[in-house]
Chains A and B, each alone.
Chain A
Amino acid sequence: MTAAGSRSEAPLERTPASKSAPAMIEIDRVSQVFRTSSRKDHLALSDISLAIEDGAFVSILGPSGCGKSTLLYIVGGFVQPTMGTAKMKGKTIAGPGPDRGPVFQEFALFPWKSVLGNVMYGLRQQGVRPAEAEAQSRALLDMVGLKGFEHFYPKELSGGMKQRVALARTLAYHPEVLLMDEPFGALDAHTRTRLQNDLLKIWERDRKTVLFVTHSVDEAVFLSDKVVMMTRSPGRVRQVVDIDLPRPRRRTELLLDPRYQKYVVNIERMFDEPDEDELRC
């Protein structure tokens, strides 16, 4: 039982879903069934319960096809769960709203709008005056490192720049929760690292609640307070790992930090092991 022994060295605990502390997001026994083209029902998510506290950076980590994006879409209100409920601040989520801002792997920018137009879009929708919306948007673009690109169109930007615009566009309307769906998945390794660093810097400033879907163990450990490990299809919560690493985190320091290394190795080992929960079901 070397795996079990090494697991106890790092603070890996199973956090119960029902906690007394007020949760920002509460996912209660959510299951999701999709009807596939062959008319067979596919169970994407099975009985997920999860509580996310205000201001926490939580990653949902799992192999592809484990339904982790679906879980994010349910919190976003884009998908209605087949069973169970998702709540935000105690209210059942019925649909999308500006309190939850998505950032997608596909960027999903409005190609007919300039960079500035994209970032201003949500503010204008909320009735903010053009001059005020523009000033706020310019400040945000400066923060994500895109000063000088205000009048470019999305097609003129690289993938990394597009994702910076998408992040600024979502931050612009001040959502309380950021929903990030493998946001750096389509980027090359170098660009991904730079964006991770910048995202952490921005997050450490205002500490919004973040739900971050990824399949990269490094990324999850580097960014998060808490990593929710999911099982392969049907997606279930396998383990919730608290990442007890000091902030602000610097990538170059963390890579040498044995605590960071231990988290990464332990999580990877657990994914290699057969799933205990599977037997329990």
Chain B
Amino acid sequence: MLTGKSVAARLAPVLACMGLLALWQIAALALNSDSFPTALEAMRAIPSILGDKEALINILASLRRMAVGFLAAVAFSIPLGLLMGRSASVASFCNPLLMVIYPVPKAALMPIIMLWLGVGDLSKTLVIFLGVSLPVIYHSFEGAKAVEEKMLWSGAAMGLSSVERMIRIVLPASLPEILTGCRTGLVLALITMVTSEMIARQSGAGNILFNALDMGQYDTVFAMIIIIGAMGIALDVAFESMRQRLVSWSEPQFDVPLSFS
């Protein structure tokens, strides 16, 4: 069933990765610097990190914070965004606030948050929450705003109350847009997770990375970058496949509508 073209398309990401690693290997060999290990050296360090119980606990703690921050942000942001999209008064109240918060790097708030909430899980989770919230609110807002009025009227005529219309019409109709926001949010969760651990160095994947840097273990530094990057890619691929399944009804895969009146 696989044609030459589709095999090439499937192999393309693998080939791109191999190419990048090969380039890295050549560059590192050419530069021959202590602070720039070769790709092979970095890859060799991965099993020892993943085999280390301490390191694994750290990485899992990172992932847990990320999951909690992400899910809390999604649970908070989707209803808020949808409400903003359907109510002009909620939107006019929240929009200026969000406009002020939007350009502030969330990690820049970390020192204040640490001051108030300490260097523990709560501070880091809160930063992740803030990082994820904005794109999810924004996309939910845009999605809800674009819902056809007539679709809501059709629902109202069937006897759906305004709350039911919100949950059973606005939410599913905006789902493609919401999930686009969640996908951006997921990547931002990973970024803010690592950043927060760099600032509040107590545990986590970002902590391993920076401790290794302090101790001059450059192969571990690069290995951690690969591990964090791989986690990001895996999460994104998993999320994307879920997204496609949930909103296949909206994807324009059938370009030619059936011709029949």
Which residues of A line the B interface, CB within 8 A?
A: 73, 76-78, 95-98, 100-102, 104, 106, 108-112, 121-122, 125-126, 152-158, 160-161, 169-170, 173, 175, 187, 190-191, 194-195
Contacts and interface: CB of A to CB of B under 8 A. Distances in A.
Given A106-B150, A108-B150, A97 B159 contact: yes
Interface string B143-177: 00000101101101111100000000100110100
Contacts of B153: 73, 76, 78, 96, 102, 104, 108
B167 to A, nearest CB: 13
A106 B172 contact: no
Nearest to B156: A96
Contact of A125 (B159, B172, B257): B159
B93 interface: no
Interface of B: 148, 150-151, 153-154, 156-160, 169, 172-173, 175, 247, 249-250, 252, 254, 257-261
Contact of A110 (B173, B247, B261): B173
A169 B158 CA distance: 10
A90 B91 CA distance: 39
Given A161-B258, A187-B261, A98 B150 contact: no
Contact of A112 (B157, B159, B175): B175
7 contacts: A95-B156, A108-B148, A110-B172, A112-B175, A155-B249, A156-B258, A160-B260
A111 B249 CA distance: 7
B150 A104 contact: yes
Contacts of B154: 102, 104, 108, 110, 169-170
Contact of B157 (A155, A158, A175): A175
7 closest Cβ contacts across the A-B interface?
Answer: A160-B261, A191-B261, A108-B150, A96-B156, A122-B158, A104-B150, A108-B151
A139 B252 CA distance: 29
A170 to B, nearest CB: 8
Nearest to A152: B258
B257 A157 contact: yes
A121 B154 CA distance: 10
Contact of A158 (B148, B156, B158, B260): B260
Contacts, number: 87
Contacts of B250: 111-112, 155
Nearest to A164: B261
A77 B154 CA distance: 11
Contacts of B173: 110-112
B260 A98 contact: no
A158 B172 CA distance: 22
B176 to A, nearest CB: 9
Contacts of A170: 154, 157
A158 B258 contact: yes
B254 A101 contact: no
Given A108-B151, A158-B259, A160-B261, A125 B158 contact: yes
Given A98-B159, A155-B252, A194 B261 contact: yes
Counting chain B CB atoms within 10 Å of each CB, which of A78, A97, A112, A155 scores highest?
A112
A125 B160 contact: yes
Contacts of B158: 98, 121-122, 125-126, 173
A70 to B, nearest CB: 13
A239 to B, nearest CB: 29
Nearest to A124: B158
Nearest to A98: B159
B149 to A, nearest CB: 8
Given A95-B156, A96-B153, A152-B258, 12 more contacts: A73-B153, A76-B153, A76-B157, A97-B157, A98-B158, A102-B157, A104-B153, A153-B249, A155-B252, A156-B258, A158-B261, A170-B157
Nearest to B251: A155
Nearest to A160: B261
A106 B250 CA distance: 17
Contacts of B260: 158, 160-161
Nearest to A156: B254
Contacts of B160: 125
A197 to B, nearest CB: 11
A71 to B, nearest CB: 15
Contacts of A187: 261
A158 B260 CA distance: 7
A173 B157 CA distance: 10
Contacts of A73: 153
B254 A190 contact: no
B261 A112 contact: no
A209 to B, nearest CB: 15
Given A96-B153, A112-B172, A155 B254 contact: yes
Nearest to B160: A125
Given A112-B172, A156-B258, A106 B156 contact: no
